[in-house]
Chains A and B, each alone.
Chain A
Amino acid sequence: MLHDRGAVETIRTTPRIGESSVWRRLRLPNRYAHWGMIFVAPALIFFITFRVIPLCSAAWVSLHDWNLIAPMKWVGAANYVRAAQDRDFLIALGRSFLYAGVVVSGTVVFGLLAAVLLDQRLRFTAFFRAVYFSPALMSWVVISIVWLVMYAPTIGPFANLAALLSLPYTPPLTSGIAALPAIMIMGIWQALGFYMVVFLAGLQAIPVHLYEAASIDGAGAIRSFWTITLPLLRPVTLFAVVNATIEALQVFVQVYIMTNGGPAESTVVVVFFIYRLGFYLREMGYAAALGITLLVVVLVITLVDLWLMRTEQHY
């Protein structure tokens, strides 16, 4: 039966799990190498076509002036210089960061509170968890349209609640000051439950004996929360903050559907700015340069996150 020498070698050279490092375990006889290539090839074709090439061509196009019709004109780093001096772009970028800052803090604080609440062994915990999580499954288009109509005067529930309490109601999306906050509230509503589930997993990983020890030492619930729960949730919180920030910096659909950048450009966020530049004004080179800039921002955030996580201790 043991006529297949390769297979026998595989057994001999494959240590049992946990015996050796991952890389040692991977060292299979080379007669299987071509099978590895066959298995990876289909994914690799798509990966190169739709990830690697767009990434490289973005870098290439960003060094040119191009309106999709006339031939590309080499301009070197001019697009990046222009980006650094473009007041509208910098405002849009700042607005995206403002959006991210507010939405991420709101999401993380309320998500953590909701997680702590549902960790108290309430009745119907599974039901509450599912309900809080559900907005994360909905398309941004649907969410945006529903909230757009909800914010509307007279027909929406907010206007009706205000009328019920005989408060004045100005539709927030028509006001230059209130439009962005209205979109932020919607953003918090959407993401809160998702990060609640993330925090719940973190809470459940904290050993109960720590709380027991603290309570023997006379610590109350609030003190335990600040000295045990929060410090031990640091890695999870870090993940939540970084993930939510990257997510929030990509805000686009909400603006596209609800305000189209208005009123008076007060909701032009950076992805919307790039979209308009590329597909309405046809400034492909400049749009690509801005896209690359934003990618670099996201990559820097990710790298800072990885660097912070490196020093993280496991408990």
Chain B
Amino acid sequence: MAKQPEVYRGSGVARRPAVKPARLLLHVIAIIGAVAILLPVYWMTMTSFKRPTEIIAFPMTWIPTELFFGNYTRLFSAVAFHVYFFNSFLVAGSVALCNIALCSMAGYALARFAFPGRDLIFVSILVTMMIPIQLLFIPLFLVVKYLGLVNSYAALIFPAAMNPMMVFLMRQTMLGMPAELVDAARIDGAGEFRIFLRIVMPLMAPALAALAIVSFTWSWNAFLWPLIVVKDQSLFTLPLGLAALMGLYSTEYGPLMAGMVIAVGPILLCFAFLQRFFMKGLTFTGMKG
């Protein structure tokens, strides 16, 4: 083939195919950036497979001289790490399910029904979704204490069970849903719950997937709230377990690094396969809770 057609030459800075050395340079910059971003994760993973003597060796080794799994076995024998993992999974899973159910139902009601008080509810949601719940941790703790929920799974799950931001997003999405489908189902005599489960929810599947992923990730990573509300080791989630582990093994980094690999591994693995949902979900909802 011949050279680039002349037409492309003047077409837009961002889209213009640049000359080769410049493009090579851009790739090099991108790779340097990627290395800098990945360095902590790489180092953490490598350290988790090193023997204790190799971890403290100076100068350090960039690749373990042998694959050592002792840090991982130690993690599960010395500390109840599987319990933390189970707790994190249970809490984050429940939070995601609650958010799917509650936020989609509320969004549907706010988008598709007229009822007294609707506008008041909608405005309250608009106002509170801008407030980071983190900053309310003291009064939230008092409410949870009053309800007698301190030190329980309920205390970890319920305050995150619905998120005003998610309700707002579900409402906006549902406004764009064709009303004809629901009307047709009503004429055919379908009940309201049936319509919601069989027609509305399937139409919302992509939005629900993003919602589920975001609430799961938030809950999986949450630290401040679990720190305040949970005292028993048997209720610790992964971030709490890791923080406690750091206190226990302040000079022994192997098990700590192994624990962190286990804590971020599942999320990063899911991200590798569901990139699009993660990015859409997280960028549309602002950030962590």
| Interface residues of A, Cβ cutoff 8 Å to B | 1-2, 4, 6-8, 10-11, 14, 17, 22, 25-28, 30, 32-40, 42-44, 46-47, 49-55, 57-58, 61, 114, 116-123, 126-143, 145-147, 149-150, 154-157, 160, 163-164, 189, 192-194, 197-198, 201, 203, 206, 208, 211-212, 214-216, 220-221, 224-225, 229, 243, 246-247, 250, 252-253, 257, 271, 274-275, 278-279, 284, 287-288, 291, 294-295, 298-299, 302
CB-based contact B113/A39 at 8 Å: yes
B186 touches A4 (CB 8 A): yes
- Count CB-based A-B contacts (< 8 Å): 325
The interface residues of chain A lying within 8 Å CB-to-CB of B257 are 146, 149
Chain B residues closer than 8 Å to A39, beta-carbon distance? 105-106, 108-109, 113, 192, 196
Q: Is the CB of A7 within 8 A of B133?
A: no
Q: Looking at chain A's contact residues, is the secondary structure mostly helix, strand, loop, or mixed?
A: helix
B103 touches A43 (CB 8 A): yes
In the complex, are the beta carbons of B186 and A10 less than 8 A apart?
yes
For the complex, what is the distance from the CA of A155 to the CA of B254, rounded to whole Å?
A: 12
A139/B33 in contact, CB under 8 A? no
Min C-beta distance of B109 to chain A, whole Å: 4
Determine whether the beta carbon of A295 is less than 8 Å from that of B186. no
- State the 6 A-B residue pairs at the shortest beta-carbon distance, nearest first: A36-B113, A211-B12, A43-B106, A39-B109, A139-B221, A36-B115
Report yes or no: B112 in contact with A42, Cβ–Cβ below 8 A: no
Chain B residues within an 8 Å CB radius of A288 = 138-139
B81 cross-chain contacts in A, Cβ below 8 A = none
Contact status B139-A55, CB under 8 Å = yes
Judging by beta carbons under 8 Å apart, are A46 and B134 in contact?
A: no
Contact B109 A130 (CB under 8 A): no
Measured between alpha carbons, how far is A299 from B142 in the docked complex, in Å?
A: 23
A131 contacts B26, C-beta separation under 8 Å: no
**Among B54-62, B64-72, B201-209, which stretch is in contact with chain A?**
B54-62
Tell me how far the C-beta of A254 lies from the nearest C-beta in chain B, rounded to whole angstroms.
10
Complex: A7 Cα to B184 Cα, angstroms: 8
18 contacts between A and B (CB under 8 A): A4-B186, A10-B186, A43-B103, A46-B158, A47-B128, A58-B139, A142-B242, A145-B242, A146-B44, A149-B253, A163-B58, A189-B37, A201-B283, A208-B14, A211-B11, A252-B134, A288-B139, A294-B135
Which residues of chain B have C-beta atoms less than 8 A from A302's C-beta?
A: 130
A246 touches B38 (CB 8 A): no
Known A-B contacts A46-B162, A133-B279, A160-B58; A51 and B268 likewise in contact (beta carbons under 8 Å):
no
8 Å CB contact of A122 from B12, B27, B142, B287: B27
Complex: chain A residue closest to B43, CB-CB = A157
Question: Which residues from chain B contact A127 at a C-beta distance below 8 Å?
Answer: 34
Evaluate contact between B102 and A28: CB separation under 8 angstroms: no
Asked if A55 contacts B131 (CB within 8 A), the reply is yes
What sequence of 0s and 1s flags, for each residue 41-59 of chain B, a beta carbon within 8 Å of any chain A beta carbon? 1011001000000011011
- Residue numbers in B under 8 Å from A33 (CB-CB): 113-116
- Report which of B167, B246, B287 forms a contact with A43, defined as CB distance below 8 A: B167
Name B138's contact: one of A44, A53, A189, A291 (CB within 8 Å). A291
In the complex, the answer to whether A141 meets B239 with C-beta atoms within 8 Å is yes
**Which residues from chain B contact A53 at a C-beta distance below 8 Å?**
139, 143
Contacts A7-B186, A130-B275, A299-B131 known; A36 to B109 CB distance under 8 Å? yes
The answer, among B108, B113, B175, B264, for a CB contact under 8 Å with A138, is B264
Contact of A155 among B60, B110, B117, B162 (CB under 8 A): B60
Write the chain B residue with the least CB distance to A43: B106
Contact residue among A26, A131, A271, A291 (Cβ-Cβ distance under 8 Å from B112): A26
What's the nearest-Cβ distance from chain A to residue B56, in Å?
6
Report whether B242 and A141 are in contact in the complex, using a CB–CB cutoff of 8 Å. yes
- Name the residue in A27, A55, A271, A288 with the highest tally of chain B Cβ atoms < 10 Å from its Cβ: A55
Q: Chain B 3-14, CB within 8 Å of chain A: the 1/0 string?
A: 000000011111
Contact A47 B10 (CB under 8 A): no
Q: Which of B16, B137, B143, B183 has the most CB of A within 10 A?
A: B137
Please, which residues of chain A bring their CB within 8 A of the CB of B27? 122-123
Do the beta carbons of A208 and B12 come within 8 Å of each other? yes
